[in-house]
Structure 1
């Protein structure tokens, strides 16, 4: 008896994969719009100017609870009025909000792009910054938690991706 699912029964292949050329276009575009927390942390830790500014688009209460060291605090609603005072249009921006269940970083990135900024969204947001074990700042000072083994390697700094 053949137990292999037919393509029409297979939920993964019910809609066939894109052509390699379409996949290249899609994934290249995705990387132009997104950065992950590990890459952002690595660039910030390398020393010197990373070539971008990190913007935390959350409320003041959220910022005080914890934020990426060196980030600029600019809540999404204040971007139109304050971006010009805080940010340079020649420097790319990486936005973040709470995490993957929140689209605040997307809305902030859209608002900044509408003002003429080059912008990427940090995938995973502040949640994954914490879950991957990177240091953060609170209103009380610096803090850090151990990396979650479901999101970062237990031994070593590089996930290999």
Structure 2
């Protein structure tokens, strides 16, 4: 049982989800920096409001200029089929940042019906009821 407790504690320490990130951003959580680790074309297709665009390849040499020491960093990439956010989180960890990976990535942000930014301005798609509760804001988990 100890291994299971350690495993799940570590996951909650180093991972977060779309719902929790949305709640933190909505509450104006101080010190939170959400980092989109995708390339320029993906960023332009859409990104989280207020996110910092910092592709993984640039983190090692640009993070210190853009992300304050002591920030609570959350990385994301496309979605659960991509480990780009994991690689980005590793780069931040190597630099000594407190960092978590947002599970689901940009895909689940959009699929849960949350607002995202594009060059044309804010966008929103209807929530996909397979990924988000249809009649409530949260799954109450």
> Post-superposition shift, 1:50?
4.1
The normalised TM-score by structure 2 is 0.96
Does the alignment pair 1:33 with 2:14? yes
Deviations along 1:79-103, one digit per CA (max 9) or x if unpaired, are 1111111001211100000001101
Runs of 4+ in 1 over 2 A off after TM superposition: 48-51
The answer to whether the Cα contact below 8 Å between 1:89 and 1:118 also exists between their aligned partners in 2 is no
Residue pairs, 1:1-161, within 5 angstroms:
20-46=1-27, 48-161=28-141
Q: CA RMSD in A?
A: 0.9
Task: Report the Cα distance in structure 2 between the residues aligned to 1:93 and 1:124, rounded to whole angstroms.
Answer: 16
Q: Normalising by the residue count of structure 1, what TM-score does the alignment of the two structures yield?
A: 0.85
User: Matches of 2:36 and 2:64 in 1, distance apart?
Assistant: 16
Contact 2:13 2:100 in 1 (8 A): yes
Q: Please tell me whether the aligned partners of residues 31 and 70 of structure 2 are also in contact (alpha carbons under 8 angstroms).
A: no
* Structure 1 alignment gaps of length 5 or more: 1-19
User: 3-state DSSP class of the match of 1:127?
Assistant: helix
Give me the whole-angstrom Cα distance separating, in 1, the residues matched to 2:19 and 2:30.
14
What is the CA distance between 1:51 and its match in structure 2? 3.5
The number of residue pairs the alignment matches comes to: 141
Higher helix share: 2
Query: 2:42, 2:35 → 1: CA distance?
Result: 13
Is the CA contact 2:38–2:78 (under 8 Å) kept in the aligned structure 1? yes
Gaps spanning 5+ residues in structure 2: where?
none
| Higher relative contact order (CA closer than 8 Å, sequence separation 6+) | 2
Alignment partner of 2:75: what SS? strand
